[in-house]
Structure 1
Amino acid sequence: MQKDKRTSLTYRMFLSLMKSSLKGISQVILIENAVSGFIILMAITIYSYHLGVITLSSAIIGTLIGKLGGANENCVNSGLYGYNSVLTGIALTLFLTGPSQWIIALVGAALAAIFSAAMVHFMRNTGIPILTFPFIILTWFMLLVSYRLKAFQLSPGLVPQDLLHWNLNIAGKVNWLEGSFKGIGQIFFLDSTISGMLLFIAVFWAGWKYGLFAILGNAFALLISYGLGGEHSLIIMGLYGYNAILTCIAISMVFKEEHNRLAPISGVIAACLTVPLTAGVATWLLPYGLPALTMPFVLSTWLFLGARKVLPKL
């Protein structure tokens, strides 16, 4: 009888851990839904089996650190200690190479959870969410370490470039449908139309409004980036869309004040703002060979949420 109770308790703890971890995956898109998290995991695994393993492992690591560290139980169960770990684990797996790649990625996932806890403390009095800032800063620094420490081997795809010899290439046609699905895929670094479709399903599963604002953010980003003369190859790859999707969901849905009728309009404007922010951040980082990641999303969202402290109807 005692053994059966222990087995039942262990099983419940395992289910709780997995549910929180799946929510950690869905929280990357600002959604608290275990089913959506599972669909996202499937989208990533279809794109790359190894990336799927890293995603789930990173989510579990971040969640465990939150649980074992004694963080607020509701925050841990909501997946708020998993999403920065997930993004960090995926990014370091893709942008680093060599025999230590997996170890560095998983250690990075653990550090992301600790960094998240520290940022929650530092920003507690501001009323502004930390979003993906821990993932961004941690990933940038761990990639820069590769220039000084041999164990960190940078992927050949990340090459520093001289701005003096930079040429803007806007040749070629724009495949709007491909750009639409790859936009949401790039949130998880997925350059895949099929994975993008599954990600949209995951978002709509959490609620039709989430799906609507994801579509709106992506559509406006495509139009604005094309209208401003962005590189067509980058538009098709979705590199102007993913920050806009996150921003539109954040401002229009997740962090809006109750009865704020202007929130949808503010969300679309904030999403449009991510396009020049993406171009600016990407250019700023070009000499270092670093990706922009979700910094445009963080900057635009912080800007509008900060403004709402003074302009509450925005």
Structure 2
Amino acid sequence: MFIRQISTLKNSSIANFIKVLLRGISQVILIENAISGFLILLAIMIYSYSLGLMALLSSFIGTVVGKLGGADTKDIDQGLFGYNSVLTGIALSLFLEGSFRWFIALSGAFITAIFTAIVMHITKKIRVPALTFPFIIVTWLILLSSYKLKALKLSPSLVPQDLVHWKLYISGHINWMEGVFSGIGQVFFLDHILSGVLLFLAVFWSSWKFGVLAIIGNALALMTAYILGAEHSLIIKGLYGYNAILTMLAVAIVFSSPQKKYSFLSGVIATILTVPITASISIWLIPYGLPALTMPFVLSSWVFIGSRNILPNL
């Protein structure tokens, strides 16, 4: 009987730990739900099995760092030490090449978990969420170091360009359906329609409100980018959509205003704002060959969430 109880306790602990890992993945889309995390992991693995494994290992690293570091159990169980590590691991494994790529990506996931603790400590004092800021900074720094460190090799997809010769190409037919599913897919750097469908399913599984707001956020980004004359190829690839989706969820529902009736409106404004922010950050980073990542989401969300400390109706 005693041995059976010990075995049940171990199985329960393992199951709970797996749930935490999956929440670490789902928190990338501001969701605390293990089943949603599983659906997201499945979406990543459909696109690339190795990328799915990287996401799981990165979530494991972030969670273990939180546990061994003595972080608040509630923060760990919610997956708050996993999601930034997940994004860093995925991004570095995609944007770097060479035999050290996986080691660097997993090391980046480890560094990000520690940096997450620092950022969480600072942002709590000013009453704004850390969001994906740790992932952005660590990823940018590691990618930039490749210009000085031979062991780090940038992917050919990240090519520095001279702004003097920069031209805006607006041509071609827009496949709106592809843009819809690519938008949410790009949150995890996925360009695959089936993966996008599963990601939307993961969001709706968590809450129908999350799902509806994700669709609205993506639609607003597509329309705004098109009206403002963004490059059609980038609209189709979802590069204007993913930050908008995250911003809508963050501002309108996850970190909503005390005056709930104003949350949706401020979410809409913040979502639209991500489009020009994405364009400006992208052009700023072109000479370095860096991707904008989720910085537009962070900046737009911080503006509205932070300002609510003084302007609660926003």
TM more than 0.5: yes
Q: Quote the offset at 1:120 in angstroms.
A: 1.1
**1:221 paired to 2:203:** no
- Equivalent position amino acid for 1:213 in 2: L
Residue 98 of structure 2 is matched in structure 1 by 98
- Equivalent position amino acid for 2:287 in 1: P
- Equivalent position amino acid for 1:75 in 2: D
Kindly report which structure 2 residues correspond to 1:267-286, keeping only aligned pairs within 5 A, or say none: 267-286=267-286
Query: In the aligned structure 2, how far is the partner of 1:147 from the partner of 1:3?
Result: 57
Residue 116 of structure 1 is matched in structure 2 by 116
Residue 22 of structure 1 is matched in structure 2 by 22
Q: Which SS does the other structure have where 1:261 is aligned?
A: helix
Residue 38 of structure 2 is matched in structure 1 by 38
Residue 163 of structure 2 is matched in structure 1 by 163
Q: Quote the offset at 1:6 in angstroms.
A: 4.2
Query: In the aligned structure 1, how far is the partner of 2:17 from the partner of 2:126?
Result: 30
- Equivalent position amino acid for 1:173 in 2: H
**1:294 paired to 2:278:** no
Q: Which SS does the other structure have where 2:149 is aligned?
A: coil
**1:48 paired to 2:66:** no
Let me know the Cα RMSD of the aligned residues: 1.1
**1:249 paired to 2:233:** no
Residue 133 of structure 1 is matched in structure 2 by 133
Kindly report which structure 2 residues correspond to 1:119-198, keeping only aligned pairs within 5 A, or say none: 119-198=119-198
- Equivalent position amino acid for 1:214 in 2: A
Relative to the length of structure 2, the TM-score reads 0.98
Equivalent pair of 2:257/2:308 in contact (CA under 8 Å): no
- Equivalent position amino acid for 2:210 in 1: Y
**What is the CA deviation profile of residues 230-274 of structure 1, one whole-angstrom value per residue up to 9, with x for unaligned ones?**
000000000000000000000000001344201001101100000
Query: In the aligned structure 1, how far is the partner of 2:19 from the partner of 2:81?
Result: 13
Q: Which runs of 5+ in 2 are unaligned?
A: none
Query: In the aligned structure 1, how far is the partner of 2:220 from the partner of 2:249?
Result: 13
- Equivalent position amino acid for 2:302 in 1: W
**What is the CA deviation profile of residues 25-51 of structure 1, one whole-angstrom value per residue up to 9, with x for unaligned ones?**
000000000000000000000000000
Equivalent pair of 1:94/1:155 in contact (CA under 8 Å): yes
Equivalent pair of 1:92/1:101 in contact (CA under 8 Å): yes
- Equivalent position amino acid for 1:106 in 2: L
Query: In the aligned structure 2, how far is the partner of 1:153 from the partner of 1:72?
Result: 37
Count of residues in Structure 1 that have an aligned counterpart in Structure 2: 314
Q: Quote the offset at 1:88 in angstroms.
A: 0.2
Query: In the aligned structure 1, how far is the partner of 2:6 from the partner of 2:96?
Result: 41
Q: Which SS does the other structure have where 1:263 is aligned?
A: helix
Query: In the aligned structure 2, how far is the partner of 1:3 from the partner of 1:88?
Result: 41
Query: In the aligned structure 2, how far is the partner of 1:205 from the partner of 1:302?
Result: 27
Equivalent pair of 1:17/1:60 in contact (CA under 8 Å): no
Task: Give the ranges of 4+ consecutive aligned residues of structure 1 lying more than 4 Å apart after TM superposition.
Answer: 1-6
- Equivalent position amino acid for 1:267 in 2: G
User: Which stretch shifts more, 9-18 or 132-141?
Assistant: 9-18
Query: In the aligned structure 1, how far is the partner of 2:250 from the partner of 2:237?
Result: 22
Residue 260 of structure 1 is matched in structure 2 by 260
Q: Quote the offset at 1:2 in angstroms.
A: 5.6
Q: Which SS does the other structure have where 1:71 is aligned?
A: coil
Residue 236 of structure 1 is matched in structure 2 by 236
Equivalent pair of 2:92/2:104 in contact (CA under 8 Å): yes
Identity %: 59
- Equivalent position amino acid for 1:257 in 2: S
Q: Quote the offset at 1:135 in angstroms.
A: 0.1
Q: Which runs of 5+ in 1 are unaligned?
A: none
